[in-house]
Structure 1
Amino acid sequence: MSMTRAIVGARVSVMTPGKTSQDEQYLTGERYVQQQSWELVGSFEDLDVSAMDLDPWQRPDLAPWLTDRMHEWDAIVFTKIDRAFRSIRDAVKFAEWIKDSRKILVFTDDGIKLDYSNSNLGMYDQVLAELFLYLGSFFAQLEGMRFKKRALDGHRGLKKTNRWAGGQPPYGYQVISNPTGGKILAIDPVSSEAVRFAGRMVLQDKSLWEIATALTEAGFPTPARHVANQQNADSRSRRKTKVSDDWNQSSIGKILRSPATMGLKLEGRTAKEKRVVRGEDGLPIRMADALFSDEDWTSIQEKLTKRSRTKERTHGAAPLLGVAYCGGCQERLYRAVTTSKGIQYSYYRCIPMSGKPRCEGHTFKEAEVTTNLEEAISIHLADIPVMRRTFVPGEDHTAELDAVVKAMAEVREEKDLGLYDYPGGTEEYKGRLSALAAQRKILAALPHRPARWIEEPTGETYAQAYFRMTPDERRMLLLGADVKFYIKPSGQPWQYALVTPKEITSRVQTAGREIEPSGEQQEIPNPTYIMVDQK
């Protein structure tokens, strides 16, 4: 007779730093397996998983053992019924599945064992075990409902305060004890540096890909690693999923876009549902110090939004992608590299297309494109300074007034969405709006001088900056200034236009003299003053 193969499970509804309940559950189950002389073939841990919300087939770590890997085991061991179920319906469904699959279900601390692997066992014993299981699940469900109501009541009470209600804090913060009771958030010395590092790189116009690479190389802990370090959850080999130490663009974007990085309190289960929580005065509740200044936060959001709308590649792109354009069809040129007899040839070409103007597709040698672009820059951008935009804080209350006006608009939007449709909600809405209106009146009456941006030369012209930069930096310089380099189709005398986003003209410059472009007249800008929008 073959040895019974067993798996041991643990579940924790709310995982907090230092919690060891999952370890105790595992060790208890492991001892039981050893006492039965069974073979331990696997384990599962569902952490931060509520049995009230997810049945066994929906839990991330348990589900594979009930589907794809169900043939690998004969017995499943839990410590208590409430570690498996908080619902009578789930208990009945799971017990039926165990019976149909001819497996064994054990709850060590409750003394319950359903053994459907041996049809010779007494029916009376099985019926009693099932009865105790269903009774246990009934009380587990009642207990779970009490827990849930208590938690909701507690969260409702904490909602309007700056106290932390529980769970994992936002990346960049840690949970500490509040001297007056409860828990609050404080800036975490480790993860906060990663958030600020990423924010600084955004302000330097670095892509999320570049930021992810830099964070990984600098050794900053990923959100998953940071949580694992706090919980020591990855110290045992039985963990099924490896904690990643590689940052990705998605997590960086979510962190930097979240108002939580400004210390504001949020509510909502998913990223899309999360919104800022407001106090009785209608203003956002601040949980902790912000990781960025208001000016930097605004600039970061603007740059992230702008980057999400642009399709330009910033890493690994051709040196002139998005800069070089065909003068015939006005479309961008793409780099192509071919090798013949061991010699490499590189070109820029446009894609054949119909329409007006019609273009059959043209090819230009990369060396010629580069040479003529450098000549154009040395001639037309030699005296144009690169400008830097600097923020000068105002001696006023404009920012506070804008925040109040924005808060009033958001409160009204919340009312339109029906978020105040509950007993006492209308009074709460009126109270918030009245408080905001009073604050707006006070701020509007105060003397103020608005904050502003000033534009200062960097000390370099575009030509000087271009010729000292690397190919990638040169491309980003021209893209940032919206400079385009148009080349007339092959077979004609070399003609080019260096286009800047200022004055519009219909002339194309070539070889130091002006000529009219052939074919249908195209409006091509003449080189003029260029501004780089950077902080």
Structure 2
Amino acid sequence: MDRTHREGTSVARVLGVVRLSRDREESTSPARQRESIEQWAQRLGHEVVGWAEDLDVSGAVAPWKRDELGQWLPATMGREASEPEEEIAWNRSRANEWDIICSWKLDRISRRALHTSQLHEWCKENGKQIASVEDGYDLTTPIGEFLFNILASFGQMELETIKFRAKASFNELVRQGRWRGGWLPYGYRAEPADDGQGYRLVVDDDGMNTAATLRDIVARVIDGESVNRVCASLNEQGVPAPMDAQRIREGNESKGALWRVGNLTKMLRSHTLLGWTEVGEKVKGDDGKVRRTTRLVRGDDGLPLQRAEPVIDRETFEKLQAVIDERKKPAGAAAKRADRSMLLGVAYCLCGTPLYAYTGGRGKRYYRCGRKAIAGARCEYETKSVRRDRLDGWVEQALLGTVGDVEVMQRTYRPGVDHSTEIADVLRALDELEDDRQAGLYATARTRDRFRAQHKALSARLDALEQLPSEPSGWDETPTGRTYREMWESLTTPQDKNTALRDLGVRAILHPSSLGGLSFEQMAPADGREYYTGNYGRVEIRTPAKMREAARHTVEAAESA
């Protein structure tokens, strides 16, 4: 989605803003305001593409809540909202139709410093600008930015006060087990509270039964299935994605939304699986860029508030996080391509450049040095191409000839009893608490007392946890009863085989001339390196030493028996 100024043109699209509390003063009449804005746009070579005219409207009303101007702004402005909510609000508004919002005077946009500051921040984040004709607030100029920063400082103080009150109010709702509305966390549904005051979240074990789906997803990922494969399977089975699940629950039609790897990974990483509450916040970094982050809502003791029953228990959650962490690797473009060949990111030229697949004359398919696809670059070894089917076959023979009969070991996470997760939770809570105080959220005597009480409780909790005995968590290897050959034969696509080869650490090196053709039974460890190497003509194929060692140990065990 394009949320920035249109590239390739100096003509900006101007949204003219007209507001009048009472239609009686000629000097500020709607006609005069329009004329002033039109002259300003014409003078600068811009185009007025629309008007937001709000009459008999107080300047204290937030711009995004006004009848006319509100149509041009997302309804989520001025409050914290989830990414799906922001996306929906953007699409429903006309925010993508303008680049500059211009008024006769700045107070025609708003008389509240807070509202003007919030609008300014939103404009900066989305590549838009604010201008006023008479006040000289043209934020495209240094003096305009300077003047606005003075105004924004007052708005920021007001905003911090409101944030603190909102945070305290939200925490109290969570403490009472109430749900504040919005998009439901997947695996939950909203039901009327027992006391009739609002709604509460309950685990969705009937109806849409999204909790069962979520538990199945968690189990599959822990058992070794990739998030990518899980998403593909859910889409193939037609399981409603989270947004569609909520639409269907509310009696609306499904829009055919798909499960996506990024969204599912966020879901599996979220503490909402434990019934805790996470809220999104926008934080400005040292580089000046605003980034979205999340924090846990905490109680007076500084620990996460339990908003609902967990979908999965804490041990399963920690095991899930460990599995995801274990698999997390630097993912290059090759790893993300859905049409990748079997050896993409596995086969390399002797010069160190990855080989890439291409189709030559008569439809024959080859691998060749990637430098040949770079204008002006050349391979120092001038390595010739190799037939794709031949190199694929040689690597497969090398893999199966080396470890085909070795049993695949399943890595199983063994949770420890070192309380490191709880200690990390407390340390994180202390950091957040101290950050809030540094930001000025505990400025009054009452709030300072609350800060001290929370800090004291957290520190005591930390001391108690650090005194407990510890036993670190780890990974155990369990026999699966399947050999590498059986595993390989179960893979049906080049993409799946590519993933397996990359996970196993197999590598093929293409040389410019023949290496002599050693059989893989004669392979020996390369000097000082933790892999075995063998040759097929011009191709050197390397397999990790740990795979070969596993095969040797299997033979020794059989002989000793």
Calculate the TM-score normalised by the size of structure 2: 0.57
Alignment CA distance shift 1:290-1:377 (3 Å): same
After superposition, the C-alpha distances for 1:174-198 in whole angstroms (9 at most, x for unaligned) are: 1223335633211123222343344
Once the 2 structures are TM-superposed, how far is the Cα of residue 456 of structure 1 from its aligned partner?
2.5
Give the letter aligned to residue 475 of structure 2. W
Alignment CA distance shift 1:452-1:154 (3 Å): closer
SS of residue in 2 equivalent to 1:55: helix
Alignment CA distance shift 1:423-1:247 (3 Å): farther
- 1:164 aligned onto 2:179: yes
The corresponding residue for 2:499 is 476
Alignment CA distance shift 1:387-1:55 (3 Å): same
Question: Does the CA contact (< 8 Å) of 2:510 and 2:539 recur in 1?
Answer: no
The corresponding residue for 2:214 is 195
SS of residue in 2 equivalent to 1:504: coil
Once the 2 structures are TM-superposed, how far is the Cα of residue 156 of structure 1 from its aligned partner?
5.9
Alignment CA distance shift 1:289-1:152 (3 Å): closer
After superposition, the C-alpha distances for 1:352-397 in whole angstroms (9 at most, x for unaligned) are: 2799983435311123212322332234324654322212344564
The corresponding residue for 2:456 is 434
The corresponding residue for 1:287 is 307
Question: In structure 1, how many angstroms separate the alpha carbons of the residues matched to 2:486 and 2:536?
Answer: 21
Given candidates 202, 207, 215, the residue that maps to 2:234 is 215
Q: How does 1:375-390 map to 2 (within 5 A)?
A: 375-382=397-404, 385-390=407-412
Once the 2 structures are TM-superposed, how far is the Cα of residue 282 of structure 1 from its aligned partner?
0.8
Question: Does the CA contact (< 8 Å) of 1:385 and 1:461 recur in 2?
Answer: yes
SS of residue in 1 equivalent to 2:358: strand
Q: How does 1:237-316 map to 2 (within 5 A)?
A: 243-268=255-280, 272-301=292-321, 307=328, 309-311=330-332, 312-313=335-336, 315-316=338-339
- 1:489 aligned onto 2:536: no
Q: How does 1:181-192 map to 2 (within 5 A)?
A: 182=197, 183-189=199-205, 190-192=209-211
Question: In structure 1, how many angstroms separate the alpha carbons of the residues matched to 2:467 and 2:262?
Answer: 43
SS of residue in 1 equivalent to 2:298: coil
Give the letter aligned to residue 291 of structure 1. V
The corresponding residue for 1:325 is 348
- 1:176 aligned onto 2:191: yes
Give the letter aligned to residue 429 of structure 2. A
Q: How does 1:24-63 map to 2 (within 5 A)?
A: 51=65, 55-58=70-73, 63=93
Give the letter aligned to residue 369 of structure 1. L
Task: Give the share of equivalent positions with the same residue, in percent.
Answer: 26
After superposition, the C-alpha distances for 1:282-322 in whole angstroms (9 at most, x for unaligned) are: 11112112223434434544565655731213743211212
Question: Does the CA contact (< 8 Å) of 1:215 and 1:247 recur in 2?
Answer: yes
Give the letter aligned to residue 263 of structure 1. G
Question: Does the CA contact (< 8 Å) of 1:164 and 1:175 recur in 2?
Answer: yes
After superposition, the C-alpha distances for 1:459-498 in whole angstroms (9 at most, x for unaligned) are: 4443553355434443222211222122322566558999
Give the letter aligned to residue 306 of structure 2. R
State which drifts further: 296-305 or 251-260.
296-305
Alignment CA distance shift 1:441-1:153 (3 Å): closer
Question: In structure 2, how many angstroms separate the alpha carbons of the residues matched to 1:509 and 1:333?
Answer: 19
Question: In structure 2, how many angstroms separate the alpha carbons of the residues matched to 1:449 and 1:484?
Answer: 37
Question: In structure 2, how many angstroms separate the alpha carbons of the residues matched to 1:433 and 1:449?
Answer: 28
Question: In structure 2, how many angstroms separate the alpha carbons of the residues matched to 1:506 and 1:196?
Answer: 39
Given candidates 366, 378, 394, the residue that maps to 2:388 is 366
Alignment CA distance shift 1:89-1:278 (3 Å): same
Q: How does 1:227-246 map to 2 (within 5 A)?
A: 227-234=246-253, 243-246=255-258
- 1:226 aligned onto 2:250: no
Alignment CA distance shift 1:52-1:217 (3 Å): farther
SS of residue in 2 equivalent to 1:335: strand
The corresponding residue for 2:58 is none
- The structure that has the greater radius of gyration is 1
Given candidates 534, 550, 554, the residue that maps to 1:509 is 534
Question: In structure 2, how many angstroms separate the alpha carbons of the residues matched to 1:278 and 1:422?
Answer: 20
Question: In structure 1, how many angstroms separate the alpha carbons of the residues matched to 2:413 and 2:97?
Answer: 58
State which drifts further: 214-223 or 494-503.
494-503
Question: Does the CA contact (< 8 Å) of 1:485 and 1:499 recur in 2?
Answer: no
SS of residue in 2 equivalent to 1:479: helix
Question: In structure 1, how many angstroms separate the alpha carbons of the residues matched to 2:272 and 2:217?
Answer: 15
Alignment CA distance shift 1:420-1:359 (3 Å): farther
Question: Does the CA contact (< 8 Å) of 2:280 and 2:293 recur in 1?
Answer: yes
The corresponding residue for 1:335 is 357
How many residues were matched structurally?
A: 390
The corresponding residue for 2:545 is 528
Give structure 1 stretches of 5+ with no counterpart: 1-48, 69-87, 92-147, 235-241, 518-523
The corresponding residue for 1:348 is 367
Alignment CA distance shift 1:188-1:50 (3 Å): farther
Once the 2 structures are TM-superposed, how far is the Cα of residue 529 of structure 1 from its aligned partner?
0.7
Give the letter aligned to residue 283 of structure 1. L
Once the 2 structures are TM-superposed, how far is the Cα of residue 154 of structure 1 from its aligned partner?
4.9
Question: In structure 2, how many angstroms separate the alpha carbons of the residues matched to 1:410 and 1:67?
Answer: 39
After superposition, the C-alpha distances for 1:93-134 in whole angstroms (9 at most, x for unaligned) are: xxxxxxxxxxxxxxxxxxxxxxxxxxxxxxxxxxxxxxxxxx
Give the letter aligned to residue 535 of structure 2. T
Question: In structure 2, how many angstroms separate the alpha carbons of the residues matched to 1:277 and 1:217?
Answer: 36
Alignment CA distance shift 1:496-1:174 (3 Å): farther
Alignment CA distance shift 1:156-1:400 (3 Å): closer
Question: In structure 2, how many angstroms separate the alpha carbons of the residues matched to 1:155 and 1:228?
Answer: 25
Higher helix fraction: Structure 1 or Structure 2? 2
Question: In structure 1, how many angstroms separate the alpha carbons of the residues matched to 2:422 and 2:97?
Answer: 56
Question: In structure 1, how many angstroms separate the alpha carbons of the residues matched to 2:281 and 2:436?
Answer: 17
